[in-house]
Structure 1
Amino acid sequence: MPRTVWLLVAARAINRLGAFSLPFLTVLISTDFGASTTTAGLLSAAFGIATIPSRLAGGYLAARLGRRRTIVVGLTGCALAQLGIAAAGSLTAVACFAILLGLAFELYEPPSQAIIADTVPPAERVRAYSLLNAALAVGGTGAGLIAAGLGRYDLRWLFVVDALTCLACALALRIALPADHTRPAAADRTPASQHRELGTPARPWRDRALWAMFTSGTAFALISMQIVMALPLTLDRRGHVAADAGLLFTASAVTVVVAQPALRLRRLTTLTAPAALALGYALLAIGLAGYAIAHTLPAFLIATAVWSLGDVIILGRALTVVADLAPPGATDRYLAAYGISWGIATTAAPVTATQILEHTGVTTLWAATATLALALAAAQLLVVRPLINQEPVRSPADAQRTPDRAGRGSASTTGP
């Protein structure tokens, strides 16, 4: 992997190591300011809603301001907002800083993902994006331990340390990343006639293939966030300590890291992107179905390892497909558009997970979630594959210069 990729991976791990404050935002609002659980939940939801325009702004600013500048602005904004939360003296101030945190929270993602797409060859994008996911997993294993230590003294210190890691990453990336250069005009400045000639839309939301990826990506993000929200409650209802969820999340992180070499297996690299995504969603469904019938901690651990294997396959492939769908100059915006699926899921999951669990119980919750994952597996083959394999209409000269969409999303078909 190029040095830039390793730099982004290392910075992501360090930043994730400090990203332990958000799960405690609701607790801070309730304990320090005496707010009701409903009020605390609404403020957390407001943060989630604010991440949606943040992701879109990340793609826009990366194209206009430059990728390195956008990354630095995003990380610095997160740091300032978290310092504001730590120093806030009223509920109103906390609410304002929480929303500001959401608005800065996702600026980092589109430019960092676009840098990877432009830095590595198409055949290596799956591994590069999977390394980014592994960095999150590695950082997450240590984040819980730091949170457990600092949280015993004062929850506000969690936000201070998180802010310091953001500032450290901003400084490191400002120094180490290549300087922003004037790049070709973004896709929406290209004449519409030229886009029609190339068979690519002028804006991401005009691309039916991106809509297919966005829809399945939103469902996947909802499943992922429901796991985070509902797993501790599930353990409690099955007679375990809710804190054992930390053990399961650590097991998931270890699985993600250990499974990275499997991405180079020839049987996996020769799969087309829709087939690989279908396999990932099938593994996800099997693991979630395991939660529906699990009663012992070892059974929960096995189910966690299975769905985590699905995660390893899905995350890298999905980002690679989206990056490959983007016409020249529009990578930032395509990745930004796709990424707002996580903002939608972050807002919806607390409601869907708790309501289904409250009204139908543990078994139904996980059986329904597994069914959704299985439906996503089928959708990759029946809906997504025809769209990303659709060959655009081009002039003969363009056809010789530019690979058609039939090759997109299956760039990793070469062996290791």
Structure 2
Amino acid sequence: MLAVGLVLVTALASGHAHADTRDVAARVQEQWKVAGARTASVPTRFVFDDETILVPIPPEPDDHESACTQVAVVGARGLSFRARLSDAPMDPLLAPEPAARASSMAGVLELRRCEAGRPAVRHVVITAEAGRGAVEILVGRSDRPLAPLGSIIPERTGGAIPPPAEAGSLPPLVPLEKRVDAAEVRLRREGANVRERTLTRSGDEGSGEEELELDEGCHRIEVFGREPVRERPGRRFRLDLDAELRDGDQLLARDRTEAPDVRLETCVGSATDVSLVYAGAPPRSEVVVTRGTWPLPARLPPIWGPVARSKMARVMFLRHVAVPADDPVYLAQGATGVTPLPLSVETGACYVAVMGVTRGRARQLQLRAFVGGRESTDERGASEEAALSAFCVRAHESARLEVLARGTGVSWGLALFRVKSGAWETGR
């Protein structure tokens, strides 16, 4: 009865959130009509974590040609997403189109195109950043810009945001050579095999590309640039390198943090040629690349192939899980949908479950562990194509795992390891 009650409460909460979303969308559409706009609505769409969808916008009738097109995207208050007009300029060297891209605030955002000579809005690209749920998409067309959403649904705005305080000049960075030395000291302290440094130079735009060969194992690649000499002491300049590691069209790792240097971490199941692409360095300046490697965990099962094994190794590597000392005590595999996995466990023992996608492309991947009345969930698996959960069993407790996989042609493999109390130590 308790389980049925929880399911009922969850369903009612979800239904209430969707009803609120529809009510907010209806208010926006009504106010746009009062303002003389011609409105249209797109069928409700459902977005998952980290999912990107392309939404077609209904075309305008041939006998009308509006000067302005405004698109409102409305979701639940706790849903975070961003959107852009599909043909908005993506080149950072081009001037951005005003109001052609936006991030949600309290579950709503708006896009607008009112420039003469621009093509009609055909599609909108929506990307979910946190949470999943239904979104309503409204289109309003008029001869002049419509009122902003903040004046129609003020409860969905964050209020006035004060300008950030000026922090003053940035302190100087530690010299390049010392930052590189410190990175290699960290690698040796963590037991890595430190490779020879690679020296290269950035191009005229401060970007560059380097071809690397990765052996089987887990790798940490760091990229360092030299801070330019400031022409004026009071001038603010922040060195911020960004980089990606790619195997052809497949993205292995990305660092777009606001930090001077880059750290990329990945694992490969066999020798792989990869491309390191970076940007943000001063033009025509020295760039240093350091590399550290660790062997793949020897106890990871090879039965699903080197790619799946590398995904499992990567999720353990990124979350600093100790390498299992023994073979897995349980193996399982499955496909799309929800798969329950009852376990035979020992009282007082601790376990680590790790899974990886063996085929297909998952748009949602979740691993849940139920132990007695406790539950742990890893919902970050869609982007990494792997997930991990750890748990310990007390007296008179049973345990089971549950895998949720969504996508086309998805299959996965799972290994359960019995470990000691040091499962979360930082040894590789």
Place the TM-score, normalised by the shorter chain, in its bin: under 0.3
Q: Where is the helix percentage greater, Structure 1 or Structure 2?
A: 1
With the length of structure 1 as denominator, give the TM-score of the two structures. 0.24
Larger radius of gyration: 2
Structure with greater contact order relative to length (CA < 8 Å, sep ≥ 6)? 1
